[in-house]
């Protein structure tokens, strides 16, 4: 908190390679800021490719979110913000980022000029935003930010080229802490404390690890928190002394050969996947099903539940859970089947699967896109029907509550089918399937989009569909 209180600079950039703990630091900072009465915590935004939420990678969602969060705790700011956005209500989230910052933060914050405490915003994982041009606009706007209130921004990201070349990398104007440049011995000690705490909380009838084991795992992590947390998760899945001890020793031995940090991380991911797909325990068909499930989790455009993905894959939920059972160290699987949230735990695992994994493990992005595209079409063809909204009359407005007939899997299918198709390099294999669903089910699909208040999106989806696949039954004019 010393930098927040005493440093005159208004930007602190925490830079670090994948797995160095940037998000963990950001989460901890948010908790500390929120509990510090000497600071006004304006809010935090956590960008994420693995959350399967489109808005979490959209630069234009960051400033509106921060403005809303601050307005909830500061009536003065809320009044000033309302005065700024009222003339163009609903537009602020769509205008250029360089215009957003003035209307949503800079001018409304003038209402807090008398506030003696610093007002702090946290934005995590900027490198996971998809639009580099808009990200450059945001960083430029934050670098030039000036107002009467004492405002500070804490930003985290990987040191990517398009960020390194931007204004936040200027040391004279901004505070910069490069996590990957901290002495490995210092980070190793922190990781050791983390591992020891995680192990000690999961006690068994007999001791199952030693101080030497904790030290070995911390040293093997080579400064990567994600390495330690993944191995810890892999080990703690076991519930017996013998199984935990065996998993610990396997992990220490299997990934102990590599000397480069990212090689160790890759070796650890390969080890977890190999353990989960032991050829002596799993049939070839089951291995392929697991790869396909992983590809779908990577390609999903919104949070899916176990039930939803199972329906899109035409599987039973129990079968889907079973295929992911040994991957909990790398994938978050919600406890309840109907709870959305299936996702990769860290972007480095996604990158590994798509880019660096061995050929027998590597997953192509097209596998997930095509599987989900076919799943969406199959589900719409099966579930869409007349009066799916269960309306008493077409003259009455839709009920504010979604009918039971529009389940999460069907909602996902209706909202995302064309985006999965358009992401494929070749779509000719899906033309007939699209035609077979859209021709007889078009009005039923449109009814679902109306219930979901997504009619404008439906129009945009049809335009994209016409541009992507052959839809002779649906022509959209300019």
DSSP secondary structure code for residue 105 in this structure: I
| This model's pTM is above 0.85 | no
Helices of type H across 325-394? 347-351, 365-383
Contacts of 24 (CB under 8 A, 6+ apart): 225
As given in the structure block, the two tokens for residue 114 are 């008398």
Cα–chain center distance at 428: 31
Q: How far apart are CA 421 and CA 419, in angstroms?
A: 5
> In Å, how far are 316, 373, 446, 451 from 411, measured between CA atoms?
19, 14, 12, 10
Of 441, 423, 440, 421, the closest CA to residue 431 belongs to 421
Q: Which tokens in the block code for residue 273? A: 């996947």
Domain boundaries, the chain: 2-181, 184-276, 284-363, 373-468
Residues 100, 94: Cα–Cα separation, whole Å? 9
Nearest to 362, CA basis, from 351, 353, 371, 373: 353
* pLDDT score for 51: 81
Sheet holding 175-178, edge to edge: 40-46, 119-124, 151-157, 11-15, 175-178
| Structural class in CATH, domain 2-181 | alpha beta
CA quadruple 342, 346, 347, 350: dihedral sign: negative
| Topology agreement, domain 2-181 and domain 284-363 | no
What is the CATH T-level fold of the domain 284-363, as seen in this structure? Answer: Arc Repressor Mutant, subunit A (1.10.10)
R_g of the chain computed on alpha carbons = 25
Cite the DSSP H helix spans in 20-160.
22-34, 62-73, 75-85, 97-101, 132-143
Residues 6+ apart with CB under 8 A from 354: 298, 362, 363, 364, 365
User: Over the stretch 423-465, which tens digit does the pLDDT of each residue have?
Assistant: 998 876 788 899 899 889 999 999 999 999 999 999 999 999 9
CA nearest neighbour of 244 among 206, 211, 279: 206
CA distance 308 to 160: 35
Angle at CA of residue 273, ends 271 and 277, nearest 5°: 115
2 strand-pairing partners: none
The sign one gets for the Cα dihedral 46, 52, 53, 58 is positive
- Measured distance CA(51)–CA(54) in Å, rounded: 8
Q: Which residues contact 363 (CB under 8 A, 6 or more apart)?
A: 291, 294, 295, 298, 353, 354, 357
Q: How far apart are CA 154 and CA 27, in angstroms?
A: 12
Q: According to the model, what pLDDT value does residue 395 have? A: 63
Backbone phi and psi for residue 153, each to the nearest 5 degrees, phi listed first: -120, 130
Ranges in the chain, pLDDT < 70: 1, 3, 5-6, 87-94, 161-162, 165, 171-173, 180, 255-262, 277-283, 392-400, 428, 470-478
Residue 150 to residue 8: CA distance in whole angstroms? 9
Q: For the residues of 180-215, what is the DSSP string, one character each? A: GGS-HHHHHHHHHHHHHHHHHHS--SS----HHHHH
């Amino acid at each position: 908190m010393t930098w927040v209180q005493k440093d005159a600079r208004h930007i602190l950039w925490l830079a670090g390679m994948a797995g160095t703990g940037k998000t963990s630091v950001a989460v901890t900072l948010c908790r500390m800021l929120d509990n510090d009465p000497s600071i006004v915590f304006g809010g935090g935004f956590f960008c994420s490719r693995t959350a399967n939420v489109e808005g979490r990678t959209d630069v234009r969602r960051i400033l509106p979110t921060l403005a809303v969060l601050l307005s909830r705790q500061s009536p003065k700011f809320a009044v000033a913000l309302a005065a700024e956005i009222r003339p163009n209500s609903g537009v602020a989230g769509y205008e250029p980022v360089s215009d957003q910052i003035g209307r949503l933060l800079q001018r409304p914050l003038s209402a807090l000029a008398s506030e003696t405490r610093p007002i702090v915003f946290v934005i995590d994982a900027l490198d996971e935003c998809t639009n580099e041009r808009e990200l450059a606009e945001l960083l430029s706007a934050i670098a030039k930010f000036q107002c009467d209130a004492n405002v500070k921004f804490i930003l985290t990201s990987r040191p990517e080229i398009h960020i390194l070349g931007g204004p936040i990398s200027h040391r004279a104007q901004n505070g910069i802490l490069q996590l990957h440049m901290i002495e490995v011995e210092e980070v190793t000690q922190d990781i050791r404390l983390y591992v020891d705490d995680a192990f000690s909380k999961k006690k068994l009838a007999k001791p199952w690890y030693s101080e030497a084991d904790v030290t070995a795992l911390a040293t093997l992590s080579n400064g990567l928190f994600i390495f330690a947390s993944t191995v810890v998760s892999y080990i703690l899945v076991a519930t017996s002394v013998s199984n935990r001890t065996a998993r610990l020793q396997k992990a220490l031995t299997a990934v102990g050969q590599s000397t480069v940090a990212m090689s160790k991380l890759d070796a650890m991911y390969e080890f977890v996947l190999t353990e989960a797909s032991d050829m002596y325990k799993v049939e070839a068909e089951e291995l392929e099903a697991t790869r396909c499930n992983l590809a779908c989790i990577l390609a999903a455009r919104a949070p899916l539940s176990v039930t939803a993905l199972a329906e899109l894959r035409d599987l039973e939920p129990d079968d889907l859970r079973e295929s992911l059972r040994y991957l909990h160290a790398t994938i978050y699987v919600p406890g309840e089947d109907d709870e959305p949230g299936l996702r990769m735990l860290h972007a480095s695992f996604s990158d590994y699967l798509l880019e660096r994994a061995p050929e027998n493990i590597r997953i192509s992005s097209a596998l997930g896109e095509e599987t989900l595209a076919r799943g969406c079409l199959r589900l719409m063809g099966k579930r869409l029907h007349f009066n799916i909204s269960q309306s008493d009359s077409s003259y009455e407005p839709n009920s504010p509550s979604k009918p039971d007939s529009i389940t999460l899997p069907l909602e996902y299918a209706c909202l995302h089918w064309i985006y999965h198709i358009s992401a494929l390099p070749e779509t000719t294999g899906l033309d007939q399937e699209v035609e077979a669903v859209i021709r007889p089910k078009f009005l039923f699909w449109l009814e679902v989009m109306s219930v979901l208040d997504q009619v404008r999106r439906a129009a945009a989806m049809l335009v994209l569909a016409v541009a992507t696949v052959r839809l002779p039954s649906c022509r959209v004019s300019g």
